Every structure is written in structure tokens, then in C-alpha cells.
């Protein structure tokens, strides 16, 4: 781990333009470009790249592509994950996604936070007194069995519990407790998910299908 990476993990200001960080990002961006050039039925080649991209990519997981990943090595993805078109993960900080999660198109996860004041965004002084562009990052954690609708944005520092459904177009700025349906901009908990939400109670959907 580089010195600047250690600062990221400690939640301190870091320099995204640090040469070692830029080298990590360049490798990852190039891998994303390779992945996005491949045809969907070139599955073996795609799988090889995803396993180079992420810190972990669980058994049975799949990303539709195109994908846009920033570091990759800061993201852990569990088993049987599905990510639809245009998955974007700006993982300066750690991103952890549990098992059996499904993301709709255009889901974005971001971890970096930039200063609010314009002069501080332009430059701050590092520990050596040098003027540099600095920011910090907050980790994102997503539990097991979560479903995200299209165009969901998860902001820095958010934890989403197991079994949550996040409605399309939501901007998640705060934690969501397990078993919740949440939606909106900013995203808020609408209600708890219960057995009343079962498709078993919607016989018009079944046709020749049946529950397990």
C-alpha cells in the first residue's frame, strides 16, 4: 500500500495526483477499456479482466458492461452479483458489496469528497508545505440481497443494510437500515419490506410459473 493509499484508508486528506495512485488508476482504466471492447459472448476474456480489476469478484458474479471503475483494488464484490449497463464505481475509498446483489443500469457509487470552499478545492498545503489538490474519501458498504433500480447514486460514507430495495433515480446520502424500501432524492426510507410484498400475492403475474 502506498503512503497516499494509507491516508485514504485512514480517512485523511490525500493527493489524487500522486504518481503511484495515478499508476493504479491508469492500469484500472485501461482494463476497463479492454473489457468494454470485448463482445458479450467473449465471456472467458471478460471474466479474466474482472478478476484483475477488483480486490475480489465472487463466484457467479457478472457485469454487463460497459463498466467504469476508478481503482478497482479498493472494491470487493460478493457472490452472484449482477451489474447492468454503465456500472460506475469511484472507489478511492473502500467499496464492499455483499452477495446476491442486483444493480440496474447506470448505478454509480462514489467515495471521494472534495472541499466545499473553492480556494480549498484548488489547493491545500500538504505535510511538506507544498500546494496540492487534496481530497478525502469515505467507504461505502452494501449488504447482501440488495436490489438497486436504474440510475441510483450512492454517496460517500453510506452503509446500506441487507435485503434493501433502492428505487430508481435515488441519491443515497445517508445509511439505509436492513430490510427497507428507500427511494428519492435525497433518498429516504419509505417503509419496511414485508411478506405482503411477495409475488405470491399477485396471481396475475404467474401464468405457468410457480413459487419454489
Note the pLDDT tens digit of each residue in 79-122.
999 999 999 999 999 999 999 999 999 999 999 999 999 999 99
Q: Please state, for a pLDDT cut of 90, what percent of the chain lies above it.
A: 89
210 part of a folded domain: no
- The whole-angstrom separation of Cα 176 and Cα 148 is 12
**The residue to which cell 490525500 is assigned:** 14
Report the pLDDT value the prediction gives residue 188, as an integer from 0 to 100.
98
Note the pLDDT tens digit of each residue in 122-144.
999 988 899 999 999 999 999 99
Note the pLDDT tens digit of each residue in 162-190.
999 999 999 999 999 999 999 999 999 99
Reported as type and span, the H/E element at residue 182 is strand 180-183
String of DSSP letters for 98-156 = -TT-EE-TT-EEE-EE--SSHHHHH-EE-TTS-EE--BEE--EEE-SS-EE-TT-EE-T
CATH number at residue 180: 2.160.10.10
The mean pLDDT of the chain is 95
Residue 40 burial class via C-beta count within 10 angstroms: exposed 0-12, middle 13-18, buried 19 and up? exposed
Please say if the pLDDT value at position 208 is more than 80: no
C-alpha grid cell for residue 123? 489547493
- The whole-angstrom separation of Cα 146 and Cα 98 is 8
**Domain range for residue 119?**
3-205
- The whole-angstrom separation of Cα 90 and Cα 173 is 15
Please say if the pLDDT value at position 207 is more than 80: no
Number of folded domains that form the chain: 1
211 part of a folded domain: no
pTM: 0.94
Report the pLDDT value the prediction gives residue 206, as an integer from 0 to 100.
79
Nearest to 110 by CA among 81, 135, 78, 147: 135
Q: Please state, for a pLDDT cut of 70, what percent of the chain lies above it.
A: 100
156 part of a folded domain: yes
98 part of a folded domain: yes
Report the pLDDT value the prediction gives residue 78, as an integer from 0 to 100.
98
Active site residue 114: yes
Residue of 29, 74, 114, 133 marked catalytic: 114
Report the pLDDT value the prediction gives residue 201, as an integer from 0 to 100.
77
Phi and psi at 136, nearest 5°, equal -140, 175
127 part of a folded domain: yes
Please say if the pLDDT value at position 156 is more than 90: yes
Q: List % helix, strand, coil for the chain (3-state, nearest 5).
A: 25, 25, 50
Nearest to 185 by CA among 167, 165, 212, 198: 167
Report the pLDDT value the prediction gives residue 185, as an integer from 0 to 100.
97
Amino acid at each position: 500500500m502506498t503512503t497516499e493509499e494509507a491516508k485514504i484508508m485512514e480517512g485523511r486528506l490525500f493527493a489524487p495526483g500522486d504518481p503511484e495512485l495515478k499508476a493504479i488508476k491508469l492500469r484500472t482504466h485501461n482494463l476497463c477499456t479492454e473489457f468494454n471492447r470485448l463482445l458479450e459472448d467473449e465471456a472467458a476474456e471478460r471474466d479474466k479482466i474482472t478478476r484483475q480489476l477488483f480486490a475480489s469478484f465472487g463466484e457467479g458474479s457478472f457485469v454487463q458492461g460497459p463498466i467504469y471503475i476508478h481503482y478497482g483494488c479498493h472494491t470487493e464484490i460478493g457472490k452472484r452479483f449482477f451489474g447492468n449497463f454503465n456500472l460506475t464505481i469511484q472507489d478511492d475509498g473502500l467499496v464492499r458489496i455483499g452477495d446476491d446483489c442486483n444493480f440496474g443500469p447506470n448505478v454509480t457509487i462514489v467515495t471521494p469528497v472534495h472541499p466545499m470552499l473553492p480556494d480549498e478545492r484548488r489547493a491545500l498545503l500538504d505535510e511538506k508545505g507544498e500546494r496540492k489538490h487534496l481530497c478525502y474519501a469515505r467507504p461505502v458498504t452494501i449488504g447482501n440481497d440488495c436490489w438497486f433500480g436504474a440510475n441510483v447514486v450512492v454517496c460517500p460514507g453510506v452503509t446500506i443494510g441487507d435485503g434493501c430495495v433502492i428505487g430508481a433515480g435515488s441519491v443515497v446520502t445517508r445509511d439505509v437500515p436492513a430490510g427497507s424500501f428507500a427511494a428519492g432524492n435525497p433518498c429516504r426510507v419509505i417503509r419496511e419490506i414485508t411478506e405482503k410484498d411477495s409475488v405470491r400475492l399477485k396471481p396475475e403475474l404467474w401464468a405457468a410459473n410457480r413459487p419454489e
